[in-house]
Amino acid sequence: MTALMSPAETEGDAKPPARFAEIPRWARSVLYLALGVGILSLARVLTGAGQLTAENTLRSALYLALPIALAGLGGLWSERAGVVNIGLEGMMVLGTWFGAYGGIAYGPWQGVLLGVVGGAIGGLLHAIATVVFGVDHIISGVSINLLAVGLCEFLTSVNWDGASARESPTIPDTVARVDLLPFLKDPLRDLAGQHRFFLSDLANAILSVTTNISLLVLVALALFPLTYFILWKTPFGLRLRSVGEDPDAADSLGVPVYRMKFIAVMVSGAMSGLGGVVLVYLFSGKFQSQQTGGRGFIGLAAMIFGNWRPGGLLVGAGLFGFMDSMQSQVTETSHALLVGAALVFLVTGLACAYRRLWVSTAVFFVLAGAAAWWYQATDELPREIIPYFPHVTTLLVLVFASQRLRMPAADGKVWRRGGR
């Protein structure tokens, strides 16, 4: 029994001081989000770079973050059941191809469905290799990545336009876009136009997720609370996570370990496949070879950044997406990021001071000073390196906060019933 209880309890390792811990997790996510908007807002006011929080910037950040977040959500499902899924990239590739094929041959929503199924088939392969045959998870994942790319290139060449084609025709019909809160649109635009501190930026943030938004984005976003509910609030979710923590104990209590792992890895592939569909439908409008560009891997990074939890991984993916969107902005805007970074360091430093971690406090204050100095001393941030700030951040999190990260205890371990 203790083994089944332990997932919830041992997470106390990473508990912040008591008063903060009393706030429910979802509310904390909202607080972090508000803090993020606040920091961006302050950076905008300090630098005058209005594009930093413009509606379009935020929407493009959201769109860029979504495939990464979905891959990360896929990683979360599979790793919570103890299977490391480095094949997310390949499953995403399958999602792009099948999504495009379905979209062209049948219709937009059929395409979405087919893309999800394509990803799930990739997940099924991974489950067969790792769960049935006990192949090392990373090795199986790498093989699936290779296979998926080859398969999709082959299917492209036989389906569309002969042997050298590396992309599909454009999908004729895409998923509809809607305004969620049409009555609020004008007042919010008004508020955004007034350039008030925080309020205008918040208005932009709300506008970016409610106006002219693809239904596909809404479906994808809904998967995050849904995942949280299923994995943390249902008996099924408890069983699935118990398999990732201690499969022997779960097995002894009658949890069907193999079946749980199969379900988890297939859902994982489906999520990643949906990430591929998003990539096709929101960006290129067609399948292109190499279109995923390593987003499956980055999803895994976002998941680790988010400590194997859906809220955290959304924050991580948001960071990756926002930095990605900065690359196409004018230099003035991306330069303002340095002020944003300085503020983040400052706030983190203050948080460390509150916890009486003096060394960390000093480090973060020095970092804040360095970022501010960098802003003062230069006119631009090198465009080539902007998208890689989240990667470096994730590395730093791994290096300095790995004690606060807690992966599922049996993650990545091959499990055979009876130890054979």
> Which residues in this chain contact other proteins in the complex, by CB under 8 A?
84, 86, 125, 129, 133-140, 142-151, 153-154, 156-158, 163-164, 294, 297-298, 300-301, 304, 382, 384-385, 387-388, 391-392, 394-395, 398-399, 402, 405, 407, 411-414, 419-420
Our CB check for other proteins shows the closer of 308 and 345 to be 308
Least separation in angstroms between CB 392 and other proteins: 7
Our CB check for other proteins shows the closer of 190 and 380 to be 380
DSSP state for residue 407 in the 8-state scheme: -
User: CA 383, CA 348: separation in Å to the nearest integer?
Assistant: 26
Least separation in angstroms between CB 159 and other proteins: 8
- Give the C-alpha distances (Å, rounded to integers) separating 250 from 5, 102, 262: 11, 39, 15
Contact at 8 Å (CB) between 319 and 390?
yes
Handedness of CA 45, 50, 56, 60 (dihedral sign): negative
- Give the C-alpha distances (Å, rounded to integers) separating 126 from 135, 267, 314, 332: 9, 12, 25, 45
Least separation in angstroms between CB 237 and other proteins: 22
For residue 192, what are its two tokens? Answer: 């955004």
For residue 169, what are its two tokens? Answer: 């025709």
Contact at 8 Å (CB) between 260 and 249?
no
Least separation in angstroms between CB 71 and other proteins: 12
Our CB check for other proteins shows the closer of 170 and 327 to be 327
User: CA 269, CA 73: separation in Å to the nearest integer?
Assistant: 10
Contacts of 197 (CB under 8 A, 6+ apart): 41, 42, 45
User: CA 292, CA 116: separation in Å to the nearest integer?
Assistant: 15
Our CB check for other proteins shows the closer of 154 and 283 to be 154
Least separation in angstroms between CB 412 and other proteins: 4
Question: Which candidate, 246, 222, 201, 229, places its Cα nearest to that of 50?
Answer: 201
Least separation in angstroms between CB 187 and other proteins: 41
Our CB check for other proteins shows the closer of 35 and 385 to be 385
Our CB check for other proteins shows the closer of 114 and 301 to be 301
Coil, helix or strand for 167? strand
Contact at 8 Å (CB) between 295 and 92?
yes
Least separation in angstroms between CB 418 and other proteins: 9
Least separation in angstroms between CB 264 and other proteins: 17
Least separation in angstroms between CB 12 and other proteins: 18
DSSP bridge partners of 301: none
Contact at 8 Å (CB) between 49 and 336?
yes
Least separation in angstroms between CB 45 and other proteins: 29
Contact at 8 Å (CB) between 356 and 312?
no
Contacts of 204 (CB under 8 A, 6+ apart): 53, 54, 55, 58, 192
Contact at 8 Å (CB) between 135 and 86?
no
Other residues' Cβ atoms within 10 Å of the Cβ of residue 51: 15
